[in-house]
């Protein structure tokens, strides 16, 4: 309406954002600590996995010793027989092979957890109410990332549900506020005829355009895509 109104809206908005940063500070700090710890753990596991890469050399060593037992007497560990040296090489080979399989599984799980924590930080960076922070904390607790409150009691809050917008041509657009809401929107809320949007290879909200039997108009798709970009 006026330049004064514009300034009032700007500063009140900035104050709201600062207040929410204070409210979400502890949760954000905790998740960042967990994220950094998970990243270090992954780095160590990848280094361990790299050390199993030469396991085939151990198997070849065992094969060579077995094939040349009669001439290997002077080339092996002096306190072991050739057969014992071969068995030791095979044992180390099997140990390295088992370690590779175990570490590969742990790394895949660790990468998924790191991605989840990064996505949670993204959601926390865009919260606009204490309810949203509480929902994210509840989600983290349910996932086993955070400990449940002492005494097992947690303040009950009514789920907020996804953000709802209406395009300029009247189509309903739903936007997830968190990982849990993104999954709920995509796997349960969305119908076969709805349109799903998400920024590629970037953490952000899942966006659903409610559609019936006809494809949404280009204006609605463009506005929904803009929302997906904004909430990422």
Q: Looking at residue 149, what DSSP letter applies?
A: P
pTM exceeds 0.75, yes or no: no
Q: What confidence score (pLDDT) does residue 117 get?
A: 95
Q: What confidence score (pLDDT) does residue 196 get?
A: 94
Over the stretch 25-55, which tens digit does the pLDDT of each residue have?
889 999 999 999 999 999 999 998 888 877 7
Torsion angles phi and psi, residue 42, rounded to 5 = -60, -40
Enumerate residue ranges in the chain where pLDDT < 70: 58-59, 69-79, 151-157
Tokens of 22: 């204070």
The rounded distance, in Å, linking the Cα atoms of 133 and 126 is 10
Over the stretch 61-77, which tens digit does the pLDDT of each residue have?
777 777 776 565 555 55
Task: List the one residue out of 202, 201, 162 whose CA is nearest residue 182.
Answer: 162
Q: 3-state class of 197 per DSSP?
A: strand
Buried b (16+ CB within 10 A) or exposed e, 12-34: eeeeeeeebeebbeebbeebeeb
Q: 3-state class of 198 per DSSP?
A: coil
């Amino acid at each position: 309406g006026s330049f004064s109104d514009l300034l009032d809206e700007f500063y009140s908005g900035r104050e709201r954002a600062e207040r929410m940063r204070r409210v979400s500070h502890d949760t954000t700090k905790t998740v960042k600590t967990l994220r950094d710890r998970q990243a270090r753990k992954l780095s160590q596991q990848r280094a361990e996995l790299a050390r199993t890469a030469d396991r085939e050399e151990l198997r070849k060593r065992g094969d060579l010793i077995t094939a040349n037992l009669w001439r290997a007497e002077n080339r092996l560990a002096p306190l072991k027989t050739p057969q014992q040296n071969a068995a030791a090489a095979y044992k180390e080979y099997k140990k390295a092979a088992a370690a590779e399989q175990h570490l590969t599984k742990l790394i895949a799980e660790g990468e998924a957890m790191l991605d989840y924590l990064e996505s949670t930080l993204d959601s926390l960076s865009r919260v606009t109410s204490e309810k949203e922070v509480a929902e994210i904390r509840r989600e983290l607790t349910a996932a086993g990332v955070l400990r449940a409150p002492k005494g097992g009691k947690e303040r009950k809050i009514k789920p907020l549900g996804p953000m709802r917008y209406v395009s300029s041509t009247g189509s309903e657009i739903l936007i997830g506020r968190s990982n849990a809401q993104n999954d709920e929107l995509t796997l349960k809320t969305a119908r076969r005829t709805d349109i799903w949007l998400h920024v590629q290879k970037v953490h952000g909200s899942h966006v659903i355009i409610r559609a019936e039997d006809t494809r949404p108009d280009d204006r609605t798709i463009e506005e929904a895509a803009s929302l997906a970009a904004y909430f990422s």
